[in-house]
Amino acid sequence: MGQVLVDYHVHGIGHRTNKHTAPELAKYIEQGIAQNLTEIGFADHDEYLLELDFSSFLYLQRRYPQIRLRLGLEVDYRPGQEKILGQRLAPYQFDYLIGSIHFIGDWPFDHPAYTAGYAAWDIDELHQTYFSLVTQMVRSGQFDIVGHLDLIKVFGYRPRRSVLDLAGSTLSAIQESGMTVEINTAGWYKPVAEVYPGRDLLEECFRLGIPITLSSDAHAAQDVGRDIARAREMAWAVGYRQVAVFEKRQRSLLPL
């Protein structure tokens, strides 16, 4: 098997900027083919669940046999909502679920319009709170992939303590759960200018035997596959030789 390049975090609907229709999704797929991807995973935000057009997706799988297409969902994890989430997703068959933390309480900490909220926190306590939420998400057992593991750094507010110390119990929980961590290239285009997770966390993931997949977090067709080859090189340099892919919630590991 030749080089495997996957992009498992693609938002076909974006932030409701696109329609989940065959013509719109085809633009993403054709960009992926142009980027030499072997597999694309569409994973829109769960708030758009009712807007997903499953028939269009099945049609596109037939139309583009040269690339594997997978259908996932990125879910905003909220503590205490696990039962409701399970009931909500029960009627659907996804290939994988990404669990992500975008809110601390009601604060959307990664939204540029709400950066003033950082002033209310001690930066170490903020990181500790964030990673505690990631740990709860992991231990819920509802997800396959940890989305942008260290998203809390998005605006460049770095903790005083070692991030390995702050995230240590989270990484242990991920290891115990058998979940996969994505290397999400969107961080290179945020104020922090660093991939998620950073190199130190990725090295610890490798040491713990945590599998990885590759993701652009594209919200527009032109961003599909963006820096996926660069992320692959980073994973290879750390020591990874396999990449995780999913079908019907079952993980396989392919040569990286």
Q: Which domain holds residue 209?
A: 6-255
Of the pLDDT bands very low, low, confident and very high (cuts 50, 70, 90), residue 1 is very low
pLDDT for position 84? 94
**Is the predicted pLDDT of residue 3 greater than 50, yes or no?**
yes
Please list, in sequence order, all residues whose beta carbon lies within 8 angstroms of the beta carbon of residue 124, skipping any fewer than 6 positions away: 159, 160, 161, 166
CA distance 148 to 202: 11
Please give the C-alpha separations between residue 244 and each of 7, 92, 182, in angstroms, as whole numbers.
11, 22, 9
Report the 3 state secondary structure along the chain: CCCCCEEEEECCCCCCCCCCCHHHHHHHHHHHHHCCCCEEEEEEEHHHHHHCCHHHHHHHHHHCCCCEEEEEEEEECCCCCHHHHHHHHCCCCCCEEEEECCCECCECCCCHHHHHHHHHCCHHHHHHHHHHHHHHHHHCCCCCEECCCCHHHCCCCCCCCCHHHHCHHHHHHHHHHCCEEEEEHHHHHCCCCCCECCHHHHHHHHHCCCCEEEECCECCHHHCCCCHHHHHHHHHHHCCCEEEEEECCEEEEEEC
In a domain, 1, yes or no: no
In a domain, 225, yes or no: yes
Provide, rounded to the nearest whole percent, the portion of the chain with pLDDT above 90.
95
CATH of the domain at 94: 3.20.20.140
Residue range 53-85, pLDDT digits in tens:
999 999 999 999 999 999 999 999 999 999 999
Provide, rounded to the nearest whole percent, the portion of the chain with pLDDT above 70.
99
Cβ contact 241:256 at 8 Å: yes
Residue range 139-160, pLDDT digits in tens:
999 999 999 999 999 999 999 9
Cβ contact 180:146 at 8 Å: yes
CA angle 188, 217, 4 (to 5 degrees): 95
Q: For residue 228, what are the β-bridge partners?
A: none
- Total domains in the chain come to 1
CA distance 44 to 60: 16
Of the pLDDT bands very low, low, confident and very high (cuts 50, 70, 90), residue 191 is very high
In a domain, 144, yes or no: yes
N- to C-terminal Cα separation, the chain: 10
Cβ contact 40:32 at 8 Å: yes
Find the mean pLDDT for residues 1-20: 85
Residue range 84-140, pLDDT digits in tens:
999 999 999 999 999 999 999 999 999 999 999 999 999 999 999 999 999 999 999
pLDDT for position 2? 61
Find the mean pLDDT for residues 172-192: 98
Q: For residue 254, what are the β-bridge partners?
A: 243
pLDDT for position 14? 82
CA distance 189 to 201: 19
